[in-house]
Amino acid sequence: MVGGEARLLPMGEDALLVEVGGTAEAVALRDRVRALVDAGTAPWRSVREVVAAARTVLVRTDAESLDAVRRACLDAAATPATDASDASDASDAHASGDGGGRVVEVPVVYDGPDLDEVAALTGLTRDEVVRAHSGTPWRVGFGGFAPGFAYLVGGDPRLRVPRRSEPRPRVPAGSVGLAGEFSGVYPQDSPGGWQLLGTTDAVLWDPDRDPPALLGPGTSVRFVDASTRAARPTPDAAPGVPDRIAAPPDRAPEVTRGLEVLATGPLVLVEDLGRPGLGDVGVGRSGAADRAAYLLGVRLVGHPVDPDPATTDPATTDLHAQAPASLEVTLGGLTVRARGDLLVALTGAPAPATVDGRPVGHAAPLHLRDGQVLAVATPAVGLRSYLAVRGGVTVAPVLGSRSTDTLSGLGPAPVGVGDVLPVGPAPDAFPVAEQAPQRRSTAGDDVVVLDVTPGPRADWCDLAALTDESFSVSSRSNRVGLRLEGSPVRRDDAFADAELPSEPMVAGAVQVPPGGEPVVFLADHPVTGGYPVVAVVTRRDVDRAAQLRPGDRVRLRWA
């Protein structure tokens, strides 16, 4: 049976985790569920995303279908493993990057700094470690914390070793490592605590390749000993971390209809509704941090993208494909000159704005004539304003989206002075509102209250500490997560020393790291995480959380 003792765990208003016995069961269940989703029968046709991790499978649907999907997930978890395996061929085509039964050989120079430690931990010699790692086949189980990172399962069981007690601040791209039952290859420079055996020149991730991930779910992997080749620098001797953001947006001087950037302030990003459905290859959804403000802006300039963000996840519907890109402006400071006649709108944090020095309204369509200058000042409250433009900002898309993902580095670079951002053709629909009422911004209140629902690991921590007192928003907060400072949330004694295998994450997940100060995940959150999620902020309040500034006071309240 596939996880005969499967448990259903809550993960917000429109998702759940199915917990099974181990990685093999999780992978089989993912394949089974994807085949059912592809078949398109009720209630599976409502499922928008399926992501596997070490012992859990995330299933995202809509709030109305969640109860029916819960019951169906229990039935799927009780399906014999052979049926799930037979169905995996259908699921292989479900997401880009799937392996489809391919076998990939990865050449490795076994010169890693932890090779001796792995030999000591396993009781093998260095040569025996190399033979064990390269002499047995591996298979991609699920995606990881970065685009192209794959957790490989099924190797020699003698190679199960713990993570390093102190993670390295930087592990070079191409490093091959071990951790627990898994092996993996770092696709880019990043922090990491895996035991490093060697390096490879294989390109694990290339957004311009089809599929972009070399090692997608279902791929079989065989490591080949190539130790006669020159070794790469060790992590301690490697140079500094390069910029992981992709190439800058188009700066073509021939653009005749667009926005010429004269000033940017702290941070301006191009954002739309993100990249849904790529979690299995380590790509998060990203997109606008405050989706309600983004959607209001594009509606005001006449784009027909207007789901209710409180009940619908627009980035997991077909709407994301037609969503025009806007500018997300952090703490104001943006100044742009119109090239050609444009229709724009400002939403989100209510930043004072002028056109050629004259004040203009907020949350209303603004006509910019060719050459006019729009200047956006710092908002009195709130953090992120959105500048929508009719036709959308048409910088080059990456994996179907123009969003900048600050965690993975996918998408256009932050907008810079001198950029000329092209604007696309206007849609057929016309704007139907002269001004839109906005919800009152609670950012800047003495205490902002965010509603939460129980998370999958609510029993791991003292939840009274989570909701009885307020927290302060840390200056270390960003689009990845809202870090909260205050009285630490302590683990229950039964879980004081427990380690949690990586589990899929969602926006709004309230994760409690060992220090006890909660993190509320936002738009650029990692696909998986290894700390307990004790609560999940409601969809509506994730948008409100994205408007909080460092120093704002926050209290969490059970919805």
256 or 415, which is more confident: 415
**Bond preceding residue 43 cis, omega within 30 of 0:** yes
Residues contacting residue 428 through CB under 8 Å, at least 6 positions apart? none
What is 448-558's CATH number? Answer: 2.40.100.10
**CATH number for the domain whose boundaries are 7-92:** 3.30.1360.40
Question: How far apart are the C-alpha atoms of 435 and 297, rounded to whole Å?
Answer: 10
Closest C-alpha to 328, from 277, 382, 275: 382
Percentage of the chain beyond pLDDT 90 is 68
Numbered ranges of CATH 2.40.100.10 in the chain:
103-237, 448-558
User: 429 falls in which pLDDT band (50, 70, 90)?
Assistant: confident
Residue 276, both tokens = 């849904």
Q: What is the DSSP-derived secondary structure letter of residue 400?
A: T
Q: Enumerate the β-bridge partners of residue 51.
A: 58
Residues sharing a CB contact under 8 Å with residue 315, sequence separation 6 or more, in sequence order: 273, 274, 276, 285, 287, 291
Predicted local confidence at residue 237, as pLDDT: 35
Across residues 399-428, what is the average pLDDT? 94
* pLDDT class of 443 with cuts at 50, 70, 90: low
**Which residue ranges does the chain devote to CATH 3.30.1360.40?**
7-92
Does the pLDDT value for residue 202 go beyond 60?
A: yes
- Options 2.40.100.10, 1.10.3720.10, 3.40.50.300, 2.102.10.10; CATH for 103-237 is 2.40.100.10
pLDDT in tens, 31-57: 999 999 999 999 999 999 999 999 999
In terms of Cβ atoms closer than 10 Å to its own Cβ (0-12, 13-18, 19+), residue 252 is exposed
Q: Which amino acid is at 298?
A: V
Q: DSSP readout, 122-188? A: HT--HHHHHHHHHHS-EEEEEE-SSTT-EEEE-S-GGG-BPPPSS-EEEE-TTEEEEEBTEEEE-SS
